[in-house]
Amino acid sequence: MTQRFLVTGGAGYVGSHVVAALLDRGDAVTILDNLRTGHRPAVPPGAAFVQGDLADEAAIDAVLAQGLAEGPWTAVLHFAALSQVGESMRMPMRYLLDNGANGIRLIDACIRHGVTKFVLSSTAALFNVPGNDPIPEDAPIDPQSAYGESKYIIERALRWAHQVHGLRYACLRYFNAAGADPAGRFGEDHRPETHLIPLVIDAALGRRAALEVYGDDYPTQDGTCIRDYVHVSDLASAHLLAVERLDDGPLVWNLGNGLGHSVREVIASVERVSGLKVPYRMAPRRPGDAAVLVASSQRAQAAGWRPVHADLDEIVRTAFAWRQSHPDGYGKQA
């Protein structure tokens, strides 16, 4: 029997790659997205698309009920969210409402419509861990932003949904999603863009001013911050695996390569891949930036997940190819 999925935020960066992975293996997918940050051209061919907002309870009910008429939902995959950490500190209530309250509204609708599996796109922004060791799932939860707090609110709601209603859930905590579909179908197009790799690529291509590197006096090998970059296609495979593993009960996974790369190393990788020079200048540290954030993904790996695109140059190569072939991303916003 064909598996059927509802994907919220499926017109976004990670969501579109997950939808493509589901369709590639023959699953049926319905996307619910308000297109506030997603892109209609990012909806993979073959997916049903509904433009709607999670704040609209009637719209959620209508999508879930219409889908049930065609057979039971295999799972709901939830990506729809505001995701700018800095913005969340300027507008914390907006993030707590849009992400936290709307996430709870979606969970409640799933319970009413008999959905048994739910996968949350969560974040490493839940953690505030000093030191340089890889961060495990049982590290202390201490969000330093309203964005991180909004995701933790949903994680807590899922625990209650499981305890009271039996909803099986997965919380997948990404570290730094990066790269693009190796086949060139989908890529990264945030507006504004805040992720390091596309910013470095745009600096190399002359599409932006010199890159600002925030701090070169951290206790790392070259003084710049170290982050764990995980390819977006590897994140997609983790979601598919998580749905299968939910037959054994709820799970919480950190998703990263377990390898850290500094800002200077990312710059050097872009220069190797592109053959271009990256103009950059040093700037003061940003408040709240940790020296090192690297994931321990032992739980996911114990379940059978392996990052296929772990090499930094390969991650950068896919991102660079997407940017070259899509200089305007998915095109101008409506």
Backbone angles phi, psi at 69, to 5 degrees: -65, -20
In order of 49, 50, 115, 179, 252, the CA distances from 5 in angstroms are: 12, 13, 10, 24, 20
Token pair of 99 as six digits: 């992400």
Distance CA 216, CA 201 (A): 20
Distance CA 193, CA 196 (A): 9
Q: What is the dihedral of CA 150, 197, 184, 334, to 10 degrees?
A: 60
Active-site residue among 13, 95, 147, 174? Answer: 147
Token pair of 109 as six digits: 């609708």
Q: Ramachandran region of residue 6, left (φ > 0), alpha (ψ -120 to 50) or beta?
A: beta
Token pair of 147 as six digits: 């964005």
Q: Active-site residue 280, yes or no?
A: no
Residues 13, 185: contact at Cβ < 8 Å? no
User: What is the number of residues in the chain?
Assistant: 334
Residues 173, 126: contact at Cβ < 8 Å? yes
- Tell me which residues are annotated as active site: 147
